[in-house]
């Protein structure tokens, strides 16, 4: 995914200063503009998917079965590296999508791109290379596979850990895929491509709305010294974690309020 969008960035040739400014300088319009908030919260849900918090908690336990201090410290170190690397790459991909869209569509006056198919067609036309559309499709395919794989694995972790039910891996994976594809298939048959695009965005919003229910317990548990011992969060880390959790809750709450106001 990163390679595909790195090549797309090379084709798009965005303004470097404006790109850095847009990525790192916060704008009040993110909150005041309902459309920007809608997309921003969707990106948040797509990047920090709540089910991955359960998956990472499970993966850290399979590195070393021993309970020695050195084994735990090594597992914590490697898991921290894994999470940081994956989030940095996710940030790059999401930023690249926005930058390529702005540099390609808005610069050429195409402000009404409504769906993925139209975006793919415009990429090859505006950038003058069919390779850009192929790379865009490959990136979408890879991202779809990644998100469904982690969702399936997280479901298995939840079933085994919370419900104490063990299901054969292939049965769970097939069942999860079938359940996941049904809403998209129904929406496609009922409303066409436009409905699928709306479903895609709404699904990311739902993920973001679920984040507080995973983040708040996570912050509480990791800051509890009786539970975590020497690996509990420091006071500074705990304050930052609560601030991030409150920001997520505030963004989701603002989106819900704006949605209700807009529906009146």
- Domain extent, residue 149, equals 2-23+34-193
Residue 139 is assigned to a structural domain of this protein: yes
3-state class of 223 per DSSP?
coil
The phi-psi region of residue 38 (left if phi > 0; otherwise alpha if psi is between -120 and 50; otherwise beta) is alpha
* Distance (Å, whole) CA 197 – CA 131: 23
In a domain, 132, yes or no: yes
Q: 43-78: string of b/e by CB count within 10 Å (b at 16+)?
A: bbbbbbbbbbbbbbbebbeeeeeeeeeeebeebeee
What pLDDT shows up at residue 246? 93
User: Average per-residue pLDDT in the chain?
Assistant: 78
Residue 48 has pLDDT above 70, yes or no: yes
Query: Within a domain: residue 206?
Result: no
Taking the CA atoms of 121, 122, 128 and 129 in sequence, report the sign of the dihedral they define.
negative
Number of domains composing the chain: 1
Tokens of 227: 């539970």
pLDDT, position 64: 64
235 in any annotated domain: no
Q: Range with the lowest mean pLDDT among 9-13, 78-82, 127-131?
A: 127-131
Give the tens place of pLDDT for each residue, 73-119: 888 888 888 888 888 888 888 888 878 877 777 776 666 666 676 67
In a domain, 118, yes or no: yes
Whether 5 contacts 97, CB under 8 Å: yes
Residue 200 in any domain: the answer is no
Counting residues of the chain whose pLDDT is more than 90, the rounded percentage is: 5
The verdict on residue 43 lying in a domain is yes
pLDDT at 236 over 60: yes
For range 57-78, the mean pLDDT: 76
Instruction: Give pLDDT, residue 84.
Output: 85
- Is there a contact between 161 and 143 (Cβ–Cβ < 8 Å)? no
What's the pLDDT band for 240 if we cut at 50, 70, 90? very high
Percentage of residues in the chain having pLDDT higher than 70:
85
Task: Report, in angstroms and rounded to the nearest whole number, the Rg of the chain calculated over CA atoms.
Answer: 21
Average pLDDT over residues 220-232: 87
Q: Whats the size of the chain, residue-wise? A: 264
134-184 tens-digit pLDDT: 888 888 888 777 777 777 788 778 877 777 777 777 777 777 777 777 777
Judged against a pLDDT cut of 60, whether residue 263 lies above it is answered with: no
Task: Assess if residue 245 is contained within a domain.
Answer: no
Task: Compute the distance between CA of residue 123 and CA of residue 133 in angstroms, rounded to an integer.
Answer: 6
Neighbours of 199 (CB within 10 A): 15
């Amino acid at each position: 995914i990163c390679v595909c969008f790195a090549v797309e960035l090379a084709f798009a040739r965005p303004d470097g200063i404006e790109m850095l400014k847009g990525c790192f300088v916060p704008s009040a319009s993110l909150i005041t503009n309902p459309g920007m908030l809608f997309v921003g919260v969707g990106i948040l849900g797509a990047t920090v998917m709540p089910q991955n918090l359960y998956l990472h908690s499970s993966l850290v336990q399979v590195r070393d079965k021993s309970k020695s201090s050195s084994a735990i410290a090594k597992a914590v170190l490697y898991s921290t590296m894994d999470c940081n690397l994956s989030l940095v790459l996710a940030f790059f991909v999401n930023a690249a999508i926005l930058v390529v869209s702005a540099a390609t569509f808005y610069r050429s006056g195409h402000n009404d791109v409504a769906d993925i198919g139209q975006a793919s067609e415009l990429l090859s036309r505006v950038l003058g290379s069919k390779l850009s559309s192929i790379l865009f499709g490959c990136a979408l395919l890879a991202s779809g596979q990644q998100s469904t794989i982690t969702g399936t694995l997280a479901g298995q972790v939840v079933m085994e850990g919370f419900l104490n039910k063990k299901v054969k891996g292939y049965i769970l994976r097939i069942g999860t895929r079938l359940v996941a594809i049904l809403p998209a298939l129904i929406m496609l048959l009922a409303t066409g491509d436009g409905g699928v695009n709306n479903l895609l965005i709404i699904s990311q919003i739902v993920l973001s709305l679920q984040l507080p229910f995973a983040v708040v317990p996570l912050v509480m548990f990791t800051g509890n010294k009786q539970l975590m011992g020497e690996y509990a969060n420091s006071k500074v880390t705990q304050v930052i974690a609560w601030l991030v959790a409150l920001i997520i809750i505030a963004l989701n709450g603002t989106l819900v309020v704006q949605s209700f106001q807009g529906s009146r």
